[in-house]
Amino acid sequence: MDFNAHGKEKPVKSTPDVYDVLVIGGGMVGSMILRELSRFKLRVIMVEKEPQPGFGATKATMAYIHRNHMNPPGSLRARLCMNSQSTFLSLSKELGVGYREADEINIAFDSNEEAQVRLRLDWAFKNGEKNFRTISREEVARLEPHVSRDFIYAIHSVGHGMIHPAEWAFALVENAISNGARALMETEVTGLRQEEDGFWTVDTDKGSLQARFVINAAGLYADHIAHLAGDVNVRQFPARGTFAIFDTSVSSMLRNLVYVAGIDTTFSQAIGPTLHGNVILGLGHFREPKDLSDTRVTREELDDILKIGKKIVPNLPERDLITSFAGIKVTNNLAEHNDFFLGLSSVSPTLIHALICPPGITASPGIARAILDLLSNSGLDLKEKPDFKSGSECRFKFHDSNDEDRGEAIKKDPAYGHIICRCEQISEAEIRDAVRRGAKTLDGVKQLTRAGMGRCQGGFCSLWVLKIISDELDIPLEKVTRKGKGSEEVVPWDFKGKQV
């Protein structure tokens, strides 16, 4: 992989809105990068086109932090995924966001799949992982009584993790901002050109910015961003997978992550618990989306994924399916074997591409460090801030607290006693807090607080959330959106009797 340093004399610029580094993209990777950058005495800024960090591919993944058995030994993926668990564990404590551990079982139903699972075992070993072993059918039955007995081979490993990535992206950006970084939401990059002095002018729909270095962490749209800069060599290839989430009552059926062999990029299947106690089923046969916003779920995909789900867990209760959605992943043309490409653009050494493919979430801390290495090798002076605040304010969550703490919280702020989302037990205080922190849309509040993720899917709470957003932002109810401009939920009355 291309880590060559193209050193350059550092030009000096002192006009406003000029940054040392501009990060395009506020997904998990962009957010990790911004937070890392905020450790140093640099002027850094992020631009993200959605209303909040983590609104793109980040919020549509299995959200598992994997150990290193699905990455070919010697690959960049393998290198950057090393020790992810411990990194995520310590980050979770620093930022006050959720991280939970579970074991994983990889199973094979036929000889092809068995070969792939054995390969995973081999890769784990070669990547230096411990505690991966073959297990018997009896052991699987003991660990997971609801999993099918029809498989022919299985391996077991401990210490995999699960997070809620949208919450992480948000918290990472928040922490970066508390350390002096800037982040602009709902700001879309429309142009990218390098001036004579080497600085980049980044045009957006909200104005122009200047930066010495630009990090292209635009996820699904990274090739589009590259093309804006004239770098036509970058191409990404999308594929869409389907997810189904089951009610928390189903969580008693499954304790571990269960993966069916599928190193093949056209198929991957897993079922397992989520951080919040639901069960998630994903991804099935990948299909080509019409375009990058094509995140629909088709009838065939839904039937497909449920069929495969029941292959793994025969008694999977379909009636407890509470939502389904789609996620798009990409591979790129610059790296081999479905790997990341982290490197300098062919048109300029100060434009750095972060072309991400699975396992993007797991590798994101490693990717961020690698990007910083690239920046440093390219001549960016990284001077650490002595007063870097690694920790974030700990937030009270009604759902996760015991009765004593709940009682105390309500005494301090009665809004903690007004439960808005009944299914998930989310209080008014938490929702107001989320809006004040920057979650200005219905889906944004949902991703950050979980309000609306329960069995009634916002049937009772979403009207309340709309009202709270309207109240906090002091905007009329009809201007509150589900996920950004164009997705307004309600229509106001026109008392003259005409349609508004």
> Taking Cα atoms as reference points, which of 126, 51, 43, 128 lies closest to residue 82?
128
Q: Of the candidates 38, 71, 278, 481, which one interacts with another protein according to CB under 8 A?
A: 481
CB atoms within 10 A of CB 328: 21
User: If binding is defined by CB under 8 A, does position 324 make contact with another protein?
Assistant: yes
- Whether omega for the bond prior to residue 317 falls within 30 degrees of 0, making it cis, is no
Task: Please list, residue by residue across 84-105, b when 16 or more beta carbons sit within 10 angstroms of its beta carbon and e when fewer do.
Answer: bbebbeebbeebebbbbebbbb
By CB under 8 A, which span of 28-36, 166-174, 187-195, 479-487 interacts with another protein? 479-487
Give 27 or 484: the residue with its C-beta nearer to another protein: 484
N-terminal to C-terminal alpha carbon distance within the chain: 56
How far is Cα 207 from Cα 190, in angstroms, rounded to an integer?
10
- The tokens describing 336, both together, are 């081999």
**Cβ-based nearer residue to another protein, 324 or 346:** 324
Helix H or strand E encompassing 31: helix 28-37
User: Where on the phi/psi map is residue 480: left (φ > 0), alpha (ψ -120 to 50), or beta?
Assistant: beta
Q: What are the structure tokens assigned to 211, written together? A: 């930066």
CB of residue 278 to another protein, shortest distance in Å = 13
Helix (H, G, I), strand (E, B) or coil at 269: strand
Q: Minimum CB separation from another protein for residue 27, in Å?
A: 19
- Of 299 and 383, nearer to another protein (C-beta) is 299
In the bound complex, what is the minimum distance in angstroms from residue 400's beta carbon to another protein?
A: 13
- When the beta carbons of 27 and 458 are compared against another protein, the nearer one is 458
Task: Output the CA angle 318-321-323, nearest 5 degrees.
Answer: 150
Size of the site for another protein (CB under 8 A): 56
- Residues 408-437, one symbol each (x = binds another protein by CB under 8 A, - = not), give --xx--xxxxxx--xx-x--x---------
297-316: contacts with another protein (CB under 8 A): 297-299, 301-302
| CA 433 to chain CA mean position, Å | 21
Is 496 an interacting residue with respect to another protein (CB under 8 A)? Answer: no
3-state SS assignment for residue 465 = helix
Q: Does 482 bind another protein (CB under 8 A)?
A: yes
Closest alpha carbon to 234 in 378, 344, 327: 344
Q: Which two tokens stand for residue 97?
A: 């966001």
Select the residue interacting with another protein from 263, 321, 355, 375 (CB under 8 A). 321
Q: Is 252 exposed, middle or buried (0-12, 13-18, 19+ CB in 10 A)?
A: exposed
**Nearest distance from C-beta of residue 403 to another protein, angstroms:** 6
Q: Which of residues 345-404 bind another protein (CB under 8 A)?
A: 403
How many residues are present in the chain? 500
Report, in Å, the least distance between residue 360 CB and another protein: 22
Nearest approach, Cβ of 46 to another protein (angstroms)? Answer: 23
Stretch that binds another protein, among 110-118, 319-327, 353-361, 364-372 (CB under 8 A): 319-327
Residue of 296, 307, 337, 385 that binds another protein (CB under 8 A): 296
Taking the CB of residue 490, how many other CB atoms lie within 10 A of it?
A: 13
Taking the C-alpha atoms of residue 8 and residue 4, their distance in angstroms, rounded to an integer, is 13
Residue 125 touching another protein (CB under 8 A): no
Q: Which is nearer to another protein, 21 or 461 (CB)?
A: 461
| 227-256 residues near another protein, rule: CB under 8 A | 249
268 binds another protein (CB under 8 A): no
Query: Please, are residues 18 and 362 in contact by the beta-carbon 8 Å criterion?
Result: no
> For residues 146-205, which are near another protein according to CB under 8 A?
none
The tokens of 487 are what? 């997705």
d(CA 267, CA 283): 8
Nearest approach, Cβ of 166 to another protein (angstroms)? 15
Least CB distance to another protein at residue 72 (A): 35
CB of 145 to another protein, least distance (A): 20
Interacting residue with another protein among 1, 89, 102, 477 (CB under 8 A): 477
By the criterion CB under 8 A, which residues form the site for another protein? 249, 293, 295-299, 301-302, 319, 321-325, 403, 406-407, 410-411, 414-419, 422-423, 425, 428, 442, 455-457, 459-460, 462-463, 467, 477-478, 481-493, 497, 499
